[in-house]
Structure 1
Amino acid sequence: MKKILVIEDEKAVRDSILDILDAEGFYAAGAENGQVGVELASQLQPNLILCDVMMPELDGYGVLRQLRLNPQTETIPFIFLTAKVERSDIRQGMTLGADDYLPKPFTHAELLQAITTRLNKQEAIVSQSEQRLDDLRQSISFALPRALTSPLGVITHLSSDLIEEYNTATPAEILEMAEMIHSNANLLHQLMHNFLLYAKLEVIATNPDQVKALQNYRIDYSETVIADEAIQKSEEYGRREDLELSLKSVSARISENKLKKIVEELVDNAFRFSTQGSLVKVYSFESDDKFVLHVIDYGRGMTAEQISHVGAYMQFDPELFDQQGTGLGLAIAKRLTELHGGEMLIESILGKQTIVRISLPR
């Protein structure tokens, strides 16, 4: 049974709405003012809230503000009941996070229509979120063991060799094995971190309020962040001379850490799938009042099918290439870009060149 909370200070109106809801098979509860309504919303966790705007102690806008600050009530669908239908009043409510307005006086049918529409929309959102999380769980259960097999295998094999040969191996051989173990342990750590990050991003994508919070950040020194991250990656691959930078001072609506992560994954991909001596170009500039980032490499390239299926757990040509090509980094960069209201496009000529274009609001 769906639960609906009615916050209305006029007893006659409140009782009338409660009677209608009871007759229609809803579990209905009433609150005589805004403060009581906030407390009941937290206790009851209703499927929908109907709330008057003009009330003593705490008006409807104040109720909505408090509900949206509470993680337990921030996503409950909220409909204002009001005789105030000025455009500025509606804009204020929508800005705070109201889902709909129902002008007074309203008919029995209008009330039920507004409720049904909002509940159906919420059910669709929940269903979509659950399906997305189910898909994510299936992808992780399939891809995680596969992605971890390669570095774990190397660590197990080399550590066994080290145990068996520590009396006969030379210091140089021991150092070489230790460095390879360390390198694969770092790769294992990075894979685990990225799997967890992607899962977190998928959960955020199901919550409009969390997405909105992400988009509130802004960075004004993007060129410094991009340069530092790109140079660090080039040095990790021993290819500092292959890196070409052309960066403009452009602001972007994204946090420093999230921008760093996008650059890290795209530049890492560019170096990983290109050969020593070939250029990796990183450009940033402003275009059509957007922050734009290009990462270009002249390596193996991607097929049209691979580009269209860029996702968390794609394995590019597993029979031809090693387990490091999971596609997880591209998926993270794409999801981060989209969550910040941007777009990621990939153009590639197989065996010749790949261009990844990121655009973000400024």
Structure 2
Amino acid sequence: MATQILLIEDEIQIRENVATLLSLKGYEVSTAPDGREGISQAMVSPPDLILCDIMMPEMDGYQVLDTIRNNRSLATVPFIFLTARTEEIDVRRGMVSGADDYLTKPFTLDSLLRTIESRLQREALREAGLQARLEELRRSLTSVSTHEYNTPLSGILGFTSLLLDHYQEFNEEDTLSMLSMIKASALRLKRSLDNLRFIEELQQINPTDSSFEFFTNGISRIDADVVKQQIAKVRERKDEEIDCQIEVVSAVVDCSETSVRIILDELIDNACKFSKGARSIRISGWPEGINYHLSISNVGQLFKAEDIARIAPYTQFDRKIYEQQGSGLGLSIVKKLLDFKKSTLTIQSTPEGETSVTIIFQQVLN
């Protein structure tokens, strides 16, 4: 299919000449005599590239560019200004607004073609890179989610089949044990599905939404009892004992109770997941000036400092080395909630294998 170019130019002679020359070079060209008509055409039939004059009546090229860049379906379309204005301030304004290039009138056909080809090639590289990242995300999502969903589902189906097919062979203790494992598997599966929905919800929130206020407004108390409540929830989901050392100084922090509970749940779950053997988890909380530090430490898989910037859904670090549980959603959720409050998240690992995740909240002082 021929490359689609939209030419927005109010001078009829330039418009017709450029359109004819580009058509002879194999491009499919549509034209518009002003900005409003050009925007309408672009929205109805998105082009592969836009050529646009700057000085036009009613709606100038800068306004056209702003409208194009604010339209989701057109935001990445290469945009080249055609201009008789060569002052640096005019060029800078166009580039800052999101123009990809500009041509100064009068221009030659050769310079026009070179500029168009350069921008189309760059767009093709961007598109190829995007497709490669999407394919990598698809593979990662498939690999991680298949393991994360199938493992608890297999437990549910396996124990249910045993109980249905051989229920007379099991005593009460065996039956209760299997029912407990079915419940734990169901809770793990529910959490995975809930986190999938929740991260999508968080990624769509902006500061004007009421849901943004829900996660950012409010205060919460952090103390040993709050921590123990979250440990109990993780223990029920995992159906195993969790050895924790709790040294938490009571404080009130500027963070909603919902966010604090979610953050604690995800970080305790992660600490259990990546602990080695029967080593205990250490949870500490202490005030420092106007801030409150909450730290959760475990001994096991190391976390490299540079991986903090790579925290994202379905991203697992050193997966080729470690056979991991989880989908990478937990840390992504924590990081997103903390970003809302502009709170700090640090992760440090020692050579001995201890990893500490520390969050700094702002205290609410009397």
TM-score past 0.5 threshold: yes
Q: CA deviation at 1:358?
A: 8.5
Q: For residues 122-271 of structure 1, what are the structure 2 equivalents within 5 Å?
A: 122-163=123-164, 177-192=178-193, 224=219, 233-237=230-234, 242=246, 244=248, 265-271=266-272
Of the three residues 266, 278, 283, the one matched with 1:280 is 283
| Matched residue, 2:238 | none
Residues 1:273 and 1:249: Cα distance change in structure 2 (over 3 Å): same
Q: State the distance in 2 between where 1:73 and 1:226 align.
A: 47
Q: CA deviation at 1:279?
A: 1.1
Q: Is the 8 Å Cα contact of residues 83 and 105 (structure 2) preserved in structure 1? A: yes
Q: State the distance in 2 between where 1:175 and 1:346 align.
A: 39
Q: CA deviation at 1:19?
A: 2.6
| Matched residue, 1:98 | 99
| Matched residue, 1:207 | none
Bigger radius of gyration, 1 or 2?
2
Q: Does 1:59 align with 2:60?
A: yes
Q: Is the 8 Å Cα contact of residues 297 and 357 (structure 2) preserved in structure 1? A: no
Alignment deviations for residues 36-62 of structure 1 (CA, whole Å, 9 cap, x no partner): 101111223211111112222322233
Q: State the distance in 2 between where 1:110 and 1:119 align.
A: 14
Q: Does 1:116 align with 2:109?
A: no
Q: State the distance in 1 between where 2:260 and 2:95 align.
A: 30
Q: Is the 8 Å Cα contact of residues 296 and 355 (structure 1) preserved in structure 2? A: yes
Q: For residues 296-315 of structure 1, what are the structure 2 equivalents within 5 Å?
A: 296-302=296-302, 312-313=315-316, 314=319
Q: CA deviation at 1:138?
A: 2.5
Q: State the distance in 2 between where 1:352 and 1:237 align.
A: 23
Amino acid at match of 2:71: N
Q: State the distance in 2 between where 1:52 and 1:226 align.
A: 59
Which deviates further from its counterpart, 221-230 or 20-29? 221-230
SS in 2 for 1:145: helix
Aligned length: 336
Q: State the distance in 2 between where 1:280 and 1:164 align.
A: 44
Alignment deviations for residues 141-161 of structure 1 (CA, whole Å, 9 cap, x no partner): 334333333211221133234
Q: Is the 8 Å Cα contact of residues 231 and 265 (structure 2) preserved in structure 1? A: no
Q: Is the 8 Å Cα contact of residues 281 and 296 (structure 1) preserved in structure 2? A: yes
Q: Is the 8 Å Cα contact of residues 242 and 276 (structure 1) preserved in structure 2? A: no
Q: Is the 8 Å Cα contact of residues 262 and 336 (structure 1) preserved in structure 2? A: no
For structure 2, the residue ranges without an aligned partner over 5 or more in a row are 236-241, 361-366
Residues 1:344 and 1:278: Cα distance change in structure 2 (over 3 Å): closer
Alignment deviations for residues 270-322 of structure 1 (CA, whole Å, 9 cap, x no partner): 24334675313478999xxxx99985413213287x9799872527633xxxx
Amino acid at match of 1:83: A
Q: State the distance in 2 between where 1:125 and 1:35 align.
A: 28
Amino acid at match of 2:315: A
| Matched residue, 1:46 | 47
Which deviates further from its counterpart, 166-175 or 54-63? 166-175
Q: State the distance in 1 between where 2:335 and 2:8 align.
A: 39
Amino acid at match of 1:151: P
Q: State the distance in 2 between where 1:75 and 1:155 align.
A: 46
Q: Is the 8 Å Cα contact of residues 54 and 61 (structure 2) preserved in structure 1? A: yes
Alignment deviations for residues 221-257 of structure 1 (CA, whole Å, 9 cap, x no partner): 6995896997864442367862647999799xxxx99
For structure 1, the residue ranges without an aligned partner over 5 or more in a row are 205-209
| Matched residue, 2:322 | 317
Residues 1:24 and 1:226: Cα distance change in structure 2 (over 3 Å): farther
Residues 1:345 and 1:315: Cα distance change in structure 2 (over 3 Å): farther
Amino acid at match of 2:114: Q
Residues 1:143 and 1:105: Cα distance change in structure 2 (over 3 Å): same
Alignment deviations for residues 314-360 of structure 1 (CA, whole Å, 9 cap, x no partner): 27633xxxx6x3462477469969x999998754236641135789x
Identity rate, percent? 29
Q: CA deviation at 1:268?
A: 2.9
